Amino acid sequence: MKNELTFQGSIYMFFNEIIGQDEIKQKLIKSVKDNRISHAQLFLGTEGCGSLLLSIAYSQYINCYNRKEGDSCGICPSCVKFSKLTHPDLHFVFPVTTSEKVKKDPISENYISQWRELIINSPYFSENQWYEYIKVENKQGYISVKESNEIIRKLGYKTYEAEYKTMIIWLPERMNPSSANKILKLLEEPEDKTLFIMVSENTGPVLPTILSRLQITKLAKIEKQSIEKSLINKYSLSPSEAEDIAGIANGNMVKALSLIQLKGETSLNLSKFREFMLSCYKHDLPEIQNWIDNMSGQGREKIKDFLEFSLRIIRENLMINQELPEITYMDQEEKDFSLKFSKFINLTNVYAIYEEFNNAYNYIESNANNKIVFFDLALKIFSLIKK
Ligand SMILES: [Zn+2]
């Protein structure tokens, strides 16, 4: 359980499970121990830094009946309800918009089950990924005046069972001035034992009158080492892959995760490319036939993706061949492959090889028959790559 952030239908929102951010965690824990919980707070951090998760873990910790040293217990009735994100005193507000299902006056409540689902299944996500998840990807979400009225209504109730009512507002920058003004008074004169946490990526659009009432906690990007560690432990990457990805992700866990996905696809393309070139080199007709049967069964988009990848790898190999490796952009697996492959590419054949792959791409795009295109391509490569 310690190594799994998610499991069926619930999530252990321990501080320990959140990647990096140790300094902030200690600060938050200390504020609870010292009994100095500010009632209106703003967590400010860029995409993929884990700020939303920290706000939930913080609230869970505050309300835990049996706090451990540095984390909540995970098993008391409050923690159990937090793990499903269904605690009656835990409220969420986030940007929403109209959709197929919600035609008019959308509020967070309309999307609360998708919200819980997304956090539980994929705790690190971007604003765009949220809109994709609720299938409104072309529209910008917002927090409306109707939503502000809901906030006031919900916080007007007395707490059901928790010590604190928590209202987490994700992306307050999506409130317009009239919805923001509506909750000003609540921030000024809060009900007793109410905790507001606004989780923002950019305070630019947030009203100064709102900002001035919030205690601001700035979150740094996640440290590279922490991302690396989690990629190795939770996503089974090798240390060198983890280092590559953590370097490019630059403290953004959302980006790291999309790079892993991309890498899966790239590495599949590389092995297909390797198989194709090798069987062309060996003039192994049955093997080539097999390869073509397999490839033709893929969808058009996957095939185009493969051909684009091939064009890139050929270009990169020409660079290596010309001893200009410093201007290539390849990961370790591609470099290892290219060390051998670049020997078969030179100035006399590379442009023709490139041209043939490019033609294949254009034929596929104009709906030519997949099998014929690849068979034709194989014959051309046969003769271009001499034994
Ligand atoms: Zn607990």
Three-class SS of 237-288: CCHHHHHHHHHHHCCCHHHHHHHHHHHHHHHHHHHHHHHHHHHHHCCCHHHH
Among residues 277, 342, 327, 337, which one has the least CA distance to residue 306?
277
Residue written as token pair 């696809």: 265
Taking the centre of ligand 1 as the mean of its atom positions, its distance from the CA of residue 51, in whole angstroms, is 21
Cα–ligand 1 centroid distance for 82 (angstroms)? 9
44 DSSP β-pair partners: 200, 218
C-alpha 145 – ligand 1 centre gap (Å): 35
| Chain centroid to CA 336 | 28
Pairing state between β 90-93 and 215-218: unpaired
Residue 168 φ/ψ, nearest 5 degrees: -100, 120
Task: State the distance from the centre of ligand 1 to the C-alpha of 263, rounded, in angstroms.
Answer: 38
Q: Could you tell me the distance, in angstroms and rounded to a whole number, from the CA of residue 8 to the centre of ligand 1? A: 19
Question: Cα of 87 to ligand 1 centre, how many Å?
Answer: 12
Expressed in angstroms and rounded, the spacing between residue 128 Cα and the centre of ligand 1 is 33
**How remote is the CA of residue 81 from the centroid of ligand 1, in Å?**
10
**Predicted pLDDT at 9:** 65
CA angle 126, 53, 68 (to 5 degrees): 165
**Span from the CA of 16 to the centroid of ligand 1 (angstroms):** 14
Extract the tokens encoding 2. Answer: 């310690």
Which residues, 6+ apart, have CB-to-CB distance to 11 below 8 Å? Answer: 5, 83, 85, 119, 120, 123
Reported in sequence order, the residue ranges of the chain that DSSP labels E, i.e. its strands, are: 6-7, 10-11, 40-44, 90-93, 165-170, 194-200, 215-218
CB 374 within 8 A of CB 303: no
pLDDT lower than 70: segments of the chain: 1-9, 325-328, 387
Could you tell me the CA-to-CA distances from 76 to 65, 83, 85, 174 in Å, in that order?
A: 6, 11, 14, 35
Give 58 Cα–ligand 1 centroid separation in angstroms. 12
- Full-model pTM: 0.74
Kindly give the distance from the C-alpha atom of residue 66 to the centroid of ligand 1, in angstroms, as a whole number: 5
Ligand 1 centroid from CA 216, angstroms: 26
The backbone torsions φ and ψ at residue 6, rounded to the nearest 5 degrees and listed phi first, read: -120, 150
Distance 252 CA to ligand 1 centre (A): 29
Rounded distance from Cα 229 to ligand 1 centre (Å): 27
**Distance in angstroms (rounded) separating the CA atoms of residues 251 and 94:** 23
Provide the pLDDT for residue 385: 85
- Say how many Å lie between the CA of residue 126 and the centre of ligand 1: 29
- How far apart are the CA of 64 and the centre of ligand 1, in A? 4
For ligand 1, the distance from its centroid to the CA atom of residue 79, given in whole angstroms, is: 4
CA of 55 to the centre of ligand 1 (A): 16
Q: What distance in angstroms lies between residue 37's CA and the mean position of ligand 1's atoms?
A: 18
Ligand 1 centre distance from Cα of residue 27 (Å) = 19
pLDDT score at 387: 52
CA 80 to centroid of ligand 1, rounded, Å: 7
Q: Give the dihedral sign, CA 175/180/182/183.
A: positive
CA of 65 to the centre of ligand 1 (A): 5
Q: How far is CA 203 from CA 91, 128, 172, 206, 373, in A?
A: 21, 18, 8, 5, 53
Contact at 8 Å (CB) between 40 and 213? yes
At 141, give phi and psi (nearest 5°): -80, 165
Report the separation in Å between the CA atom of 62 and the middle of ligand 1, taken as the mean of its atom positions.
9
What are phi and psi for residue 131, nearest 5 degrees? -65, -35
Distance from the CA of 70 to the center of ligand 1, in angstroms? 12
